[in-house]
Structure formats: structure tokens, C-alpha cells
Structure 1
Amino acid sequence: MDHPNIPMFFLHIAGAAALLIWSVRLVRTGVERAFSLQLRRWLRWSAGSRVLAAASGMSTAILLQSSTAVALLVSNFVARGTIAVAVGLAILLGADVGSAIVAQLLLLRQTFLLPLLLLVGVAMFLRGHQRRIRQTGRILIGLALIFVSLAMIREATTPLVDSQGAANVMAYLARDTVTAFVIGAVFAWVVHSSVAAVLLFVTLVSQGLLPPEAAVAMVLGANMGGTFIAFMLTLTAPIEPRRMIVANFVLRGGGAVMLLALISRLSLPLDWLGHSPAQQIINLHLAFNIGLALLALPLTGVVTRLAGTLMPPRMDPSAGIGPTSALDPAALASPERALTCAAREVMHMGETAEAMLRAVPALFVQWDDVLAARMVTDENHANKTLMEVKLYLAKLNQAALSDETSTRSMELSSNAANLSAAAEMISRNMVSLARRLDSEGVRFSEQGWKEICDFHDRVLANVQLALSVMMTQNPDEARELVEEKDDIRALEQRLQRAHLMRLHEGAGESIETSNIHQETLRALKQVNTSFATVATPILSETGDLLSSRLAHRN
């Protein structure tokens, strides 16, 4: 077929690639919503051993179908000081292996898998009443759609196998491996998924459309592009997680460049990696990441120290300028613009409270006068911002507003009050509890501290979800946030009972810190409640919220 319908080919390929990208994201979203707490806990408590850390990163990446998602999770832990930079790098090396294993698994072609996954997934999603069951159904549907997208790619590329024009283009990529490498890296970065990129390239090889030489370069390029995603997403992160991300980028990206150079210059054979070109390419992808992890794991300490030397702490270029307000008086003449300005300021309040909450565990581990003073300053700023937002919205309400605009103004004012209350709870209650822990010279029991850390981590995840709800006004996320509020209340009660059981058993550390332990749990629950209220007006408008509880969904 010398003259295939090129426009239709690109349309089919684009549609199949879009479905592949969305399907991978669908799986990742389902895993994050159903099992994020367990994954975060596993990553945090695997920090005692680099081998265990790498294993946890690998398993988490397999579940999330993304090493980038693991990198963002670990960045949060490193920024809070929960995980050392070297351990975080070990987790990322394992996550890179995990993403390569995912690509292997998703290339399995079993005819019974597609209908089975769709049948079970749709049934669980539509008929399941528990959130975890529904999200598991979402995961299975996403997996099925990945297989559908790969089949669409194979079908779309079949007419081009015998096309002379396509053969000439692909032959050029086989000769110019640098261009092929760049294409692979850019494509992985654009679609924000190295897994999707590798699956696409290997599928094209299996169809005989993409020469193995070009595929080698493109898959290695996808490895570099995959690490560049996390690099771009953490540009504004604190310096410690940035060092970890940059170290992983240099190791994986530099390793990919070096391996491509070796294969190209020495004409290394790939026959030992598999019988078919597609098997050789996908196995090379896995072998590269496993080999990199084995070589780099013993050197994570050296690499991170070198990164610390090359990346000193950054000076804040805005220091001394002072905070700027989004409450533009000139926007009051346009209600929609004014509401947007107020929403930006309220969002900043939420981000401030989130940053304060992140710092709490470090303060409990080791008292820091400077950190405590900063949290008090942040709380005072949140109170000041609350008053400014209320006055700004009051001026806006002096004009004749529509019912919708007036309602939105009241919602923003209420959200600001609740976020200010959360900041006050953190600054006054939790900082005071940390100070008591230090001044009395006592420490939580091992089990008690683990429970507090896990509870804090879950509340922090809900805070991040609340900020997302504020930005997107997504009813599904709002419903999830309210469901989490009920779960947090029940979990707090279980943890209080577990603490009382340890008291009855006479655990010395539990007795010494009993009041601090219980008050910390209550404070975290109240912070969660303050943030969860941002979902109330959204669900009231959609009819998902009854007068006293969340409406039941069939």
C-alpha cells in the first residue's frame, strides 16, 4: 500500500494515543483515590533500608502506573523531613523499575482479559456503594481501555507497514538516533507518561512500522523524558526534594544517553533480550532500569551529597518585598473579576494553612523556636487576610448583585473563615502541644507516634483534596471530601480507643503523653473538618447533600 490515507492514519493514531494516555491516567486516579493512604504510609515507613525503599518505590509505581506520581509523593515527604534525600532517591530508582514492569504487563495480549476487565470493572463502578469498590472498578476499566487503545494503534498502523513513504521516514529515524532519542523524550514529556510513550513505541515496532534501531533510541529518550516530567513539576519545591529529583534526572537521563551511545557506536546485539524486535525493545527498557538501580543504589548517599554541593540553598529573590494581595480594588466594578480576586486570596490562605500543617511533625520530633515563630506569623497573616477578604466582599455586596454572585460571595467569606480557623488550630493548639512535649521532656510511644503520623498524613491528603475542590469546584471530588470527613471522624475515635487500651496496659510512654496524644488527634480532626466545609456549597447545589448527611447514591 504505497499511498495510504495519511489524514485518516494520523486521526486514528491520535485518537488511539489519546485513549492510551487517558486510560493510564484513569488507572492512576483510581489507585490514588482508593489506596493513597496505604501507599503513602508504605513509602514513609520503608525509609529504614534503601533496598526496602527501592522495593516500595517499585511496587507503588506498579500500582500507580507512573514513576512521576511516586516522585511527587516522595517529594512531599522529603520536603517535610520525613524521608532523607538519599532514601528518597532510592525510592525513585525503584519506581523507575516499577514503571518498566508496568509496560511489560500491559503488553500482554490475552483475549479473555479485555471483556473480563470491562465486565467486572463496570459492575463494580456502577453497583459498588463503597468508594474503594467503585475506584477499583475504575482501575479495571482503565486497564481494559489501555488494551483497547493498543489494539487501535495496531489496527491503525497495519496499512502503513507496506508503505514506502512511511518506510523512508522510519529508516531515517533508524539512521539518526539522536533525533529519535529527542522525539522519544519530548513525546514522553508532552503526554506526561513514559509508560504510555514506551507502549506506543513498542506497539509500532511489533507492527513492523518502527525499526528496532529507532525504537531503542526513542524508548531510551522516553526514560529521560519521564524523569523530566517530575523535574518540571517540582521547580518551585524546596531545595531538598529538588536535589533528589535532579539526581534521579541526571542518573536516568545520563544513563540513557550513555547506553544509546554504546549501542550505536559498538553495534551491540540485542538478540539475547528476546526473539522478536518488540520483545527486545521492551526487555531493554526493563534491563536498563534494573541495571541503573543496581548500580546507583549503593551510591545514593554520595550522589545526594554531590547534589547538595552543586545545589546550595536558594536565596528567596522576593525576600523583603512583602506579601502582595490579590484583592484589587479596581476589580470591584466587575463582580466576576472581584470574585476571582477574592478566590485567589482565599486559596492563598489554604496554601498557607497546608504549609503549616506539613511542618507539624518536624516540630513534634524536635522543637524549633524559629519554625514555631514562623507558624505564629503565618496564622496572624491568615487572620489579617480573613478580615481583608470580608471587607472586600462587603464592598462588593454594596452593589446590586445577582443571586448567584451574592451566593458565591458568601461561600468565599465562609471558606476564608474556616481556613483561618484551621490555621489558628495549627498555630495555637498544635504548636502549643509540641512545646509541651519538648518542655516536659517526654516522647510518644512508638505505636502512638506511628498512629499520629498516619493520621496526620491522611488529614494532609484531605487538605490537598480540599484545595483541589476550591480550584475546580468538582462535585465528585467534593463528595469524596465529605466522605473522608466521616471516615476521619470514625478513625479518630478508633485511635482514641487504641490509645486508651495502651493506658490500661500500663505503657509508660503512653501515660506520660496521654493528654498531648489525645489533643493532637482532636486538633487534626478539627483541621480536617475546617477544610472539608469547602465542599458543602458545591454538594448543596448539586443535591448531593441532605440537611444532616451526605445523600445516598445509587
Structure 2
Amino acid sequence: MGSEILLLLLGSVALLLWGVRMVRTGVLRAHGTLLRRALGSAARHRMNAFGGGIAGAFALQSSTAVAVIIGAFAGQGLVSTSAALAVMLGADLGTSFAAQLLALDVKWLWSVLLAVGVPLFLTAHTDRRKGTARLAIGLGLILLALTQMDHAIALLRDSPVMAMILHTLAAEKLLGFLLGAVLTVMLHSSLAFVMLTLSLAGSGLVGPELAVALVLGANAGGAIAPVLSLAHSNAAARRAAWGHLLIRGGTAAMLIPFAHPIGEALSTVFPNPATLVAMAHTGFNFCGSVVGLPLINVIVRLLERWIPDAELSADAGAPRHLDPSVLDNPAEALACATREAISLGERVSSMLGDSWHAIETGDPLRIKAVEQADDAVDRLHEAIKLYIVQTSRAELSEEESGRAVEILGFIMNLEHVGDILDKNLMELAEKRGRLGLSFSADGLAELHAFHARIMETMRLSLNVFTTRDIGLARRLFADKSGLRAAERDAAQQHFARLREGVAESLETSAIHLDMIRDLKRIHGHLTSVAYPILEAAGELAESRLRQRDPTPRPSGRDHGVTPARA
């Protein structure tokens, strides 16, 4: 029986988290652009920013989501750190208002919301209608989860194990505070843990003092989540997250010694335990706003010294367009990944251009510069790949899934190009310089012409990826046969010089041919961007081999062939 009750409780918490997520994704997909625009506009003035944070968190049912969105805005320079902090403080108060609403006796509405939301979702053909349906379904799941949670906790009322655990937590308020913080970080939702505390208090399992300690822990944990989400963002975004933690988490920690008198005072005013928890949550965030708003400028100045702007600016491999605040909106997230992939392509293109000077001169400094550029390319490739993986955790349409695969394929090929430049071509250039060898004038001109052709292919490849134009994709694909002919011509001319006994060609023959081969490999990676576009348009044949006619010919001289069907 005990295990069944525990599973019911865990399932209820999971359902609550999923409901909160559906509300957030529903609002973002239906009105995400409008919401972000409103938050950005409101953040221009501190009190407007505070009010915008309240409204945003109430709509999204998540102060963490608002904190990540506005933190990303601060990182992009769209809002100041002080304005971002004001939005975050408002979001804390907004999510407590959401808890107040959910504390009302409206759980019976879950059936109505699901009965309306599910048919609307199944029949919706636009993102806005689907987002609205998600919002209704999410709210219904939240209310259903709270109903099931109340039922599970009522069954735990007579459990001696639960009584012992809660008695220990009641005696050690700091332990309750830490438990609340850790579980909130794990759940990634202070609202979810506050609602769990509300159910425990409503059933009589948690007294006023422990309820206050758990609520304080939930608020401290709710401030840690944005710090973790924005940990790999630039200095401005991280300053906003850490400032929010200093205000919200610091205030919660300072109030822990006063959990007992606060609990007693609240119990005299709010005899209903569930109401007490909701009011404790609201009261704390109201006090945090009153304390924090006047101190924002002081905190920002401290953070500017602690996390200076120059800290990440030297990292050439740091992404610039991967906005973590839009991960719940696949269309926007994939657009951000596309921009970053183009940026990666420009870096590799610059790396390819610099490689020629290293090949021509054998200068160790130029070779080292290309190798360092590849390190930055590798870091940026990993960042884009991780971002797309995070994006794929949301529900993707068939078109969005295809685009995600295209971006992954493109950046993987770019990373391979960087590796060939670093580990193959630069090693050959270093070897030639170390041995003091020189290409013949004709051999150097051939390499230069071949390299220039690869540079043109790089430009065309980036244009194909950006525009997805079928005509450009055809040109890129057709260039493969042209390059094969150019490779044959280069090889024939090189062997002609060998027959003539040109000393430079004899000395550098292996290096020359290996460079041609590596440049051709780069060309193959660059032209692969055309494949998914042409395949989607039905313009690729199943096989490039010509099929022999199985019908025997009367003459042994004529082996008829028929071309493969497209």
C-alpha cells in the first residue's frame, strides 16, 4: 500500500510539472513573440519592468522562464542589467499570484479545461490555436495533478515513516530550507514545489513553521535555476541571474532564523493552512521586491566588478545567437541555430582563406593561426549541436525535425572541413616548410587555382544553406563533376612535370597530390548541403550507376546499357 501511495504522489508531481510546462509552451507558441516584445518594451523603465515581470510570470506560470528570457535579452544588450533584475523581481511576485489562484477551490475545473483543450488541439491547424489549446490542457493537468496530490497526501497522513520525516524537518528548519531549495532546482519550478507544500499543509502533515521554511527554500531554489540555465551565456546575462540570486536567495536565507515567529504570526491571520502557504509565498516575494528594488544599482555595480564584460569576449568560439529563452519555441530556436550555423560557416570560410597563405609560405605563425581557429570552430560546433539537442526536446513538426537534421548535417560537415584544414593541410604545409621544399611555379599555380575553386564552393554552399534555393543547390551539386575533371587535369599536369624531370615537382610530389586530395575532400563536405534540398524536391536519382539491360543481345559486341531512372 505504501509503495502505491508513493507512486501516486510521484505521478501527481510529474503531472503537475508537465502541466506547468504545457502552460509555458502554450503561451510561448501562441503569443511568444508578443510576450518577448512586451517584456523588452516594459524593461525600459524600472517600475514598468517590475510590472511586466508580474504579468509575464502569471501568464507563463513560471518565474524561471521569465528570468531566462529577460536574462537572454540582457546578454544581447537589449535591456540593461538593472532593468532585467526588476523584471525578475516582478516575475517572482507574479508566480506567487499564480499560486494564490491555484490555492482556490477550483480543482474541479480540470475536466472542463481538458474537455475543451484536447478537441481544440486535435483540430487546430495554426500555431496560435494549438498554443491556446496547450494552455487549456496544461491548466487542466495542473488542477488534476493537485487533486491527485491531495488524495495521495491524505493517504500518507497515517504513515509513521512520513510522520518521522516531517517531525525531523520541523525540528531542523535549516534542513527543511535546504530540502526545499534542492527539490525546487530538481523540479525546475518553484511553483510546483510550493503547490506540493500547500497540499502537505492542507492535509495537516506540515505545520506553519515548517511550511514557511519549505517556502523559503523553494524561493531560494527558484533563484538558482536561472543561474544554471544562463551559466554558459555572456557576462551581462549571467550578471542578471546572479543578481537575482543575491536578492531572492539572500533574503530567503536571512529569514530562516525567523521561520518560527513568521509561521506563528501567519497562522493567527490565516487559519487555513493552504491559504497560509500561498500568503507566505506572496508575502516573501513582496518583501523581496521592497528590499531588492532600491538596491538594484548597488548590486549591479558589484556584479560588474565580479563578472567583467571582458571575461568571455576573448573566446572566439563563444556562440552569439543561441538564445536559451526560445528553446520552448522550436521555430525560433531553429532560426537561432541557423544564424549560428551561418556564423560557423563564415569562420570556416575565413579559416579556408587563411590556409592558402600558410600553404604558400609555410609560415609557422600562419599555420598556428589556422590551428587555433579550428579550436574555436570545434567549440562553436559543440555549442550549436547541444542547442539543437535541447530544442529537439520540445515537440517538433515534421518540417522542423527535417530542418534540425539539415542544420546538424551542415555544422558537422563544417567541423570536418576545419579538421581537414588543421590536421591535414596544415601538417603538409608545416612539413614543406620544415624540409625547406618549394613548389614549382606551375605546381603552385595549380594549387592556387584548385584552392580558389574550393573557396567559390564554400561561398555557394553557405548561400545554398541560407536560401535553400533549388537552382543554387543544382549548381552546387553539378560542381562535383566539374571538380573531378579539374582534379584529373591537375594530376595529369603534375605527372607531365614529373616526366620532364622538374626538380621542385619531384621533391614535393607527395605533398602536392595530398593537398589536392584534401581540398577535394573539403569540396565533398561542402557540396553535401545540396543533398537534402534536392532530395526534398525529388531531384535526386536513387543511384548514379547505369543499369545493364538484362535482355541478352544477339551480338557479343554490343552490351546495351540503360540509364538509371531519376
Q: TM-score range by the shorter chain?
A: 0.5 to 0.7
AA partner of residue 187 (structure 2): V
Alpha-carbon distance, 1:236 to partner: 1.5
Q: CA RMSD in A?
A: 4.1
Find the aligned partners of 1:80 and 1:191 in 2 and give their Cα distance.
28
- 2:174/2:213 contact within 8 Å kept: yes
Unaligned runs of 5+ in 2: 319-332, 355-376, 404-462, 474-527, 540-566
Deviates more, 1:49-58 or 1:164-173: 164-173
Which of residues 11, 18, 22 in structure 2 aligns to 1:15? 11
Aligned twin of 2:213: 217
Aligned twin of 2:182: 186
Which of residues 40, 50, 59 in structure 1 aligns to 2:36? 40
Find the aligned partners of 2:402 and 2:11 in 1 and give their Cα distance.
36
Unaligned runs of 5+ in 1: 325-346, 357-374, 389-419, 424-463, 484-524, 549-554
Q: Count the aligned residue pairs.
A: 383
Aligned twin of 1:450: none
Matches within 5 A, 1:493-508: none
Alpha-carbon distance, 1:86 to partner: 0.4
Matches within 5 A, 1:383-462: 383=349
- 2:43/2:52 contact within 8 Å kept: no
AA partner of residue 179 (structure 2): I
* 2:104 is aligned with 1:138: no
Q: 1:312 to 1:207 in 2, by over 3 A?
A: same
Which of residues 330, 333, 340 in structure 2 aligns to 1:354? 340
Alpha-carbon distance, 1:108 to partner: 2.5
Which of residues 71, 75, 79 in structure 2 aligns to 1:79? 75
Counting aligned pairs with the same residue, the percent is: 33
Structure 2 SS opposite 1:108 = coil
Alpha-carbon distance, 1:254 to partner: 0.9
Alpha-carbon distance, 1:117 to partner: 0.5
* 2:212 is aligned with 1:227: no
AA partner of residue 11 (structure 1): L
Alpha-carbon distance, 1:122 to partner: 1.1
Matches within 5 A, 1:111-130: 112-130=108-126
Find the aligned partners of 2:289 and 2:341 in 1 and give their Cα distance.
32
Aligned twin of 2:435: none
Find the aligned partners of 1:469 and 1:267 in 2 and give their Cα distance.
44
- 1:478/1:535 contact within 8 Å kept: no
Alpha-carbon distance, 1:535 to partner: 13
Find the aligned partners of 1:39 and 1:317 in 2 and give their Cα distance.
30
Find the aligned partners of 2:102 and 2:248 in 1 and give their Cα distance.
22
* 2:392 is aligned with 1:472: yes
Aligned twin of 1:515: none
Aligned twin of 1:312: 308
Matches within 5 A, 1:333-344: none
AA partner of residue 60 (structure 2): L
Find the aligned partners of 1:266 and 1:116 in 2 and give their Cα distance.
38
Aligned twin of 1:370: none
AA partner of residue 80 (structure 2): A
AA partner of residue 147 (structure 1): L
AA partner of residue 23 (structure 2): V
Find the aligned partners of 1:176 and 1:78 in 2 and give their Cα distance.
39
Summarize deviations over 1:363-390 as a string: whole Å, max 9, x none: xxxxxxxxxxxx8xx66414267999xx
Alpha-carbon distance, 1:245 to partner: 0.8
* 2:204 is aligned with 1:208: yes
Aligned twin of 1:102: 98
Find the aligned partners of 2:218 and 2:152 in 1 and give their Cα distance.
22
Matches within 5 A, 1:229-248: 229-248=225-244
Find the aligned partners of 1:248 and 1:141 in 2 and give their Cα distance.
31
Aligned twin of 2:347: 381
- 1:478/1:539 contact within 8 Å kept: no
Summarize deviations over 1:16-56 as a string: whole Å, max 9, x none: 11111111111111111111100110011112211110111
AA partner of residue 123 (structure 1): P
Summarize deviations over 1:208-237 as a string: whole Å, max 9, x none: 122222221111101010110111111111
Summarize deviations over 1:396-454 as a string: whole Å, max 9, x none: xxxxxxxxxxxxxxxxxxxxxxxx9xx9xxxxxxxxxxxxxxxxxxxxxxxxxxxxxxx
Aligned twin of 1:284: 280
- 1:68/1:226 contact within 8 Å kept: yes
AA partner of residue 25 (structure 1): R
Which of residues 87, 92, 116 in structure 2 aligns to 1:91? 87
Summarize deviations over 1:95-144 as a string: whole Å, max 9, x none: 11111111222223226512211111112101222221111111111111
Q: 1:210 to 1:546 in 2, by over 3 A?
A: farther
Q: 1:527 to 1:167 in 2, by over 3 A?
A: same
Aligned twin of 1:271: 267
- 2:465/2:529 contact within 8 Å kept: no
Aligned twin of 1:396: none
- 1:481/1:535 contact within 8 Å kept: no
Find the aligned partners of 2:6 and 2:529 in 1 and give their Cα distance.
42
* 2:178 is aligned with 1:258: no
Q: 1:527 to 1:258 in 2, by over 3 A?
A: farther
Find the aligned partners of 2:402 and 2:119 in 1 and give their Cα distance.
24
- 2:23/2:60 contact within 8 Å kept: yes
Q: 1:279 to 1:231 in 2, by over 3 A?
A: same
Structure 1 SS opposite 2:242 = helix
Alpha-carbon distance, 1:174 to partner: 0.9
Alpha-carbon distance, 1:312 to partner: 2.9
Alpha-carbon distance, 1:163 to partner: 3.3
Which of residues 168, 193, 215 in structure 2 aligns to 1:197? 193
Aligned twin of 1:328: none
Structure 2 SS opposite 1:45 = helix
Q: 1:193 to 1:323 in 2, by over 3 A?
A: closer
Find the aligned partners of 2:13 and 2:250 in 1 and give their Cα distance.
27
Find the aligned partners of 2:255 and 2:280 in 1 and give their Cα distance.
10
AA partner of residue 340 (structure 2): E
Structure 1 SS opposite 2:283 = helix
Find the aligned partners of 1:21 and 1:193 in 2 and give their Cα distance.
8
